[in-house]
A and B are shown apart, each in its own frame.
Chain A
């Protein structure tokens, strides 16, 4: 009978030996010195311009570097070091950098990369992320793409760096659909628009002849559902952003509004108006069957699915003032979760499932806040004359919303960390409102 040790057994045995070895070491008087919590600090990171594989790749190499630098800087978690301070010029990413040169400028991480046009016309992007202190390569990838998608490559690399250095998923390779607003306040033209999360690559999806509101991404990121005031009642539409094909969701007698996709993309949940009331309905996109979820003499609207699809949160004034309720996705008893002063609206469930963001109105101010799905831990992130319509980044760490300063000025988009830090304006061509963040594109 042969006695064999599996690989796992050997490993666990070695681990046990290591543990006992540590114990012996400690028995010989090794002091354990507690370093209690320090302050959070953005990580100093050096991102020298990517190397151009061929002389004609210089522009795109610099462009990718700038996009990455901008992404990491805007996240608030990194402090990119000014290129003017760099001592070493990276000319070859296949050799290890001289880390002493990067330590001198206090960089703790270093990104090197190269952009090379391939003989077949594609663009090859390579990057390496280095830990300056240990000299270790933390991650490294190469990608091939069509040259016109160089910005996406930059976003994907940004996500890789973000994830490796923070332990969280990134959110840079994502898009935002929003309502672009132009013209005077009384004759405002509203068009659906699509852009990268950093404000680049704006595309218009509608012509502005009809009023559009509340666009929402499908999980596939290929479709958008929104509400449009057409010739008759406002209706919920479904738009394929690649083909431009558009269809009405369902054929209901009254107004339908505030649509949102289910996490699996198979259903759309929305409000249907019936007299003075509105109730929540869900429609299966394949079978076109519709299911009623609420039946109250009140206004139930702004439904949003939990990421696991088992529950929904929505806004209802069944208790008098608009408040946030949570109930099973198949209908059933709803539980009120918002109990603060004022009224709560536009709830949206985080993709991580840990928080519900909302707009809170009270004391003459509109605030953006978050609370846990059980209603605890309410936290106001920003307040002012008019802040509304929060939407979560794909990693659930950042919120985008729109802010209207009042007067003749129009609304614009802002992002804020869910801790309330790092509030930043998102560049848009004109006024902008009703943002909806897509899931990660890749």
Chain B
């Protein structure tokens, strides 16, 4: 019997894909790790206030926290005075590097261009500045060196040799290894360790209206996402009826209900009754709930409120 290989391959592949799908796309809900959800919740300012609110019964272990060392505070005026004094020192050292670099290029750089520029380019300035010099054509550099000390010639030489040395001048100005120390800020450090006798006065007594830490934004969103999978909200028509159904529920550590959820109040209309029943069905059907064990004390007994009211 001849078997079509492509058919066999097709069947095998389909079996693989369908088998993989059966395992992967199971109806079981994705288990969300409680740790992951911790930083993601968006909470209102009110909730934040509750979280940061203290407890009257809280322990006052660190009445004076946040002090690095206890010592007598230095007068803050000193730092200001030092800053005023020191800057002049810095500025004194800075200028010297500038003139010196200027000298060096004059010594070396002008040399190479000389043979080329001697005859013509330098003739133009020379006749104006120095008449006795022209006879000595060769030792121009030496003559220049002699005249270094004279203030007037300096600009002349610079003017004559401006084109070649200009790009090199900035380099010399910007960096001089021997003067690195002068660039350092020698001011005394102004930042000092926070010291004092009672720096932090925020004793953790909290607000008068403060409640215990409320992490319901964390486990609440987990509960909500799970219960919504089972909630078949009844169709309430095109007119808003603002239904609301609240329950008291007690959960065990394994996430199952300890008892039947207790509805709060009696629904006033048939639709509200249906709405309440649909929510009740959802709570019962979706158990067990996978909620972070760390907050068990908070979610073991709480009141989910199903609502469409815009708050």
Contact = CB atoms under 8 A, between A and B. Distances in A.
Interface of A: 22, 25-26, 29-44, 77, 103, 108, 131-134, 138, 163-168, 354, 379, 397, 418-419
B57 interface: no
B95 interface: no
Contact of B270 (A167, A397, A419): A167
A31 B303 contact: yes
A418 B281 CA distance: 27
A168 B306 CA distance: 20
B274 A165 contact: yes
Interface of B: 211-212, 214, 216, 220, 223-224, 227-228, 231-239, 246, 248, 260, 264, 269-275, 277-282, 284-285, 298-299, 301-308, 311
13 contacts: A30-B301, A33-B220, A35-B227, A36-B307, A43-B234, A108-B232, A131-B277, A132-B281, A134-B281, A165-B234, A166-B271, A167-B275, A419-B237
A145 B139 CA distance: 139
Given A43-B232, A44-B232, A168-B270, A31 B298 contact: yes
Contacts of A37: 233, 307-308
Given A44-B232, A166-B234, A31 B214 contact: yes
B209 to A, nearest CB: 13
A38 B231 contact: yes
Given A38-B228, A39-B233, A43-B234, A33 B239 contact: no
B264 A22 contact: yes
B233 A167 contact: no
A31 B280 contact: no
Contact of B238 (A38, A163, A167, A379): A379
A422 to B, nearest CB: 10
A126 B216 CA distance: 47
B232 A166 contact: no
A134 B280 contact: yes
A35 B307 contact: yes
Nearest to A354: B239
Contacts of B302: 30-33
A304 B271 CA distance: 29
Nearest to B227: A35
B311 A34 contact: yes
Nearest to A25: B248
A33 B223 contact: yes
Given A35-B224, A41-B232, A133-B284, A30 B303 contact: yes
A131 B282 CA distance: 11
A32 B271 contact: no
A272 to B, nearest CB: 37
A180 to B, nearest CB: 32
B195 to A, nearest CB: 41
B306 A35 contact: yes
Contact of B303 (A33, A42, A418): A33
Contacts of A22: 248, 264
A254 B223 CA distance: 71
Which of B212, B214, B272, B301 has its CB near the most chain A CB atoms (within 10 A)? B301
B50 to A, nearest CB: 10
A167 B271 contact: yes
Contacts of A379: 238
Contacts of A163: 270
Contacts of B212: 29
A166 B235 contact: yes
B228 to A, nearest CB: 5
Contacts of B271: 166-168
Contacts of B298: 31
B223 A131 contact: no
Given A35-B305, A354-B239, 7 more contacts: A26-B303, A38-B228, A39-B233, A41-B232, A44-B232, A133-B282, A168-B271
Closest CB pairs A-B (n = 10): A167-B271, A167-B270, A167-B274, A133-B281, A133-B284, A37-B308, A31-B302, A41-B232, A33-B220, A35-B306
A417 B280 CA distance: 27
B197 to A, nearest CB: 38
Contacts of A418: 237-238
A39 B216 CA distance: 23
A167 B281 contact: no
A133 B280 contact: yes
Nearest to B246: A32
A33 B248 contact: no
Contact of A419 (B211, B238, B274): B238
B188 to A, nearest CB: 55
Given A42-B232, A418-B238, A36 B274 contact: no
A39 B308 CA distance: 11
Which of A34, A35, A39, A163 has its CB near the most chain B CB atoms (within 10 A)? A35
A160 to B, nearest CB: 13
A108 B211 CA distance: 39
Contacts of A166: 234-235, 271, 274
